[in-house]
Structure 1
Amino acid sequence: MAWAPLLLAVLAHTSGSLVQAALTQSEPKSVNPGDTVQITCSGGGSYYGWFQQKTPGSAPVTVIYGNTNRPSGIPSRFSASTSGSINTLTITGVQAEDEAVYYCGAGTGQWCFSGVKLGQPKVSPTVHVFPPSEEELSSQNRATLVCLLSDFYPSPVTVTWKVDGSTHSSGVETSASQRQSNNQYMASSYLTLSASDWKSANSVVCQVTHDGKSIEKTLNKSECS
């Protein structure tokens, strides 16, 4: 079974004057949830810290300071050790919520980074298409069809609507993928037609593209009568 990556990156930082020695870090790795991953940072002298940034632009959270100290509230699966000028961050039993950018900070004034990937099985979405309500048709003279996607991984997905075989791009709104409690994803897409267009249509297709594969769910007008 293939494993899909969740991105973990690693950076390094130092505070102080310009130094000649440069920080270096370990190469990217791929691990699965539950595995143990080690990330190394070297060349920064005798003082290191590690920081976690879960979303771009957010403030990094300190996970290790003073080489080996873990702040209150940081899970015990995070630990660090130092050997000479090399500091190693260890995540024992990696969890999906550990997906983040990790910064290595050294006491000489530099940043550097590398990538570490966490993975879980790729899963194609379950797709359901729902017809418009009779109330909407009669009171608002329009028809909104709903395509629900659930239980898929990884998160990137695109949705294309087709009416009687022709791609329909107007009146389409697709949500961003949202993480479910099982760490898979869900999304929804809406196609709004005029009541007359809906009444004249024979079939509507919600076509989902995920991980290079296409999944089609067809709603036949005859099934809605």
Structure 2
Amino acid sequence: LTPAFSPLFSPSPGSLVQAAVTQQPPELSAKVGDTVQITCTGGGSYYGWFQQKVPGSAPVTVIYENNKRPSDIPSRFSGSTSSGTNTLTITGVQAEDKAVYFCGGWDSSSGGYGVFGAGTTLTVKDQPTVAPTVHLFAPSAQEMETGKATLVCLMENFYPSRVTVEWVADGNTITSGVETSQPQRQSPSHYMASSYLSLDASKWQSYNSVSCKVRHEAGNVEKTVNRSECF
């Protein structure tokens, strides 16, 4: 294959009006986290897939040479070929994947993608916001024996990913000794995170109660541990 066959190659917007290969389906609707597939036949031995988010804009190559992915394209995009059919799979669809996707067949005579499918319009349904489920864990007796006390605030099953955490002891905000993780995917459509409050055991024993206050656009959640009820 010629050097023109590269992940940087994208067809011009005008060329996308051609429909010399069969691409199915013409429309797809998915929720965030779903897996979708688009198929293409009749394009020869090599296929590429192109994403066009705005009509008339330059399309972006998401797959080339059947199954290769440019380095700046997320790993949820993949390509495969079986029995003459090339398939674009998006595993764990995200809201930003809403676009028109075109299949391109390699034209050996011109040394480029010369024939294109009619396009598949992917619509991504908005996902409802979900407030986090919060668990607050007091220090263990074993840790207390070492002179340290760590409280753990675990946040689960929330969407979208942005949360803020405030630690409060006896009505006063604590900022020292606090470490909060970046949200991580717990499932294709939900996130989890954790926050830690590290104290000296004597400091923990001086408090009556400690609270973890979690703020999220779907709702705020507060959990409290009363020291007298521990152990």
Q: TM-score, normalised to structure 1's length?
A: 0.57
Aligned twin of 1:60: 73
Give the counterpart of 1:51 among 44, 50, 62: 62
Aligned 8 A contact 1:161 1:207 in 2: yes
The residue type paired with residue 59 of structure 1 is: D
How far apart are the structure 2 equivalents of 1:215 and 1:104? 41
CA distance in 2, matches of 1:61, 1:124: 27
CA contact (8 A) 1:49 1:104 kept: no
Any idea what SS the aligned residue of 2:92 has?
A: helix
Instruction: Choose which of 135, 143, 147 in structure 1 pairs with 2:142.
Output: 135
Give the deviation of 1:104 after TM superposition.
7.9
Tell which structure's C-alpha radius of gyration is larger. 2
- Distance (Å, rounded) in 2 between the aligned partners of 1:71 and 1:58: 17
Alignment RMSD = 4.5
Deviation (angstroms), 1:58: 4.5
1:182 shift after superposition: 5.4
For structure 2, the 5+ residue unaligned runs are 1-7, 17-28, 37-50, 64-69, 105-111, 113-122
Q: Is the 8 A contact 1:96 1:183 kept in 2?
A: no
Determine if contact 1:50/1:103 at 8 Å carries over to the other structure: no
Which structure 1 segments of 5+ residues have no match? 1-12, 24-29, 65-69, 79-94, 108-115
| Residue in structure 2 matched with residue 32 of structure 1 by the alignment | 31
Q: Which amino acid aligns with 1:32?
A: K
The separation in 2 between residues aligned to 1:173 and 1:117, in whole angstroms, is 35
For residue 213 of structure 1, report the CA deviation from its aligned partner: 3.0
Q: Structure 1 residues 75, 166: closer, same or farther in 2, change over 3 A?
A: farther
Report how many aligned residue pairs link the two structures. 171
Q: Is residue 208 of structure 1 aligned with residue 214 of structure 2?
A: yes
Aligned ranges for residues 41-190 of structure 1 at < 5 Å?
43=56, 50-51=61-62, 58-60=71-73, 72=81, 76=87, 97-99=92-94, 118-139=125-146, 141-181=147-187, 183-190=189-196
**CA distance in 1 between partners of 2:192 and 2:143 (Å):** 25
Secondary structure of the corresponding residue to residue 98 of structure 1: coil
Q: For the structure 1 residues 169 and 50, does the alpha-carbon distance in structure 2 shift closer, same or farther, using more than 3 Å as the test?
A: same
Q: Is the Cα contact below 8 Å between 2:10 and 2:61 reproduced in 1?
A: no
Partner amino acid, structure 1, of 2:31: N
Q: Percent identity?
A: 42
SS in 1 for 2:161: coil
Give the C-alpha shift of residue 136 in structure 1. 1.1
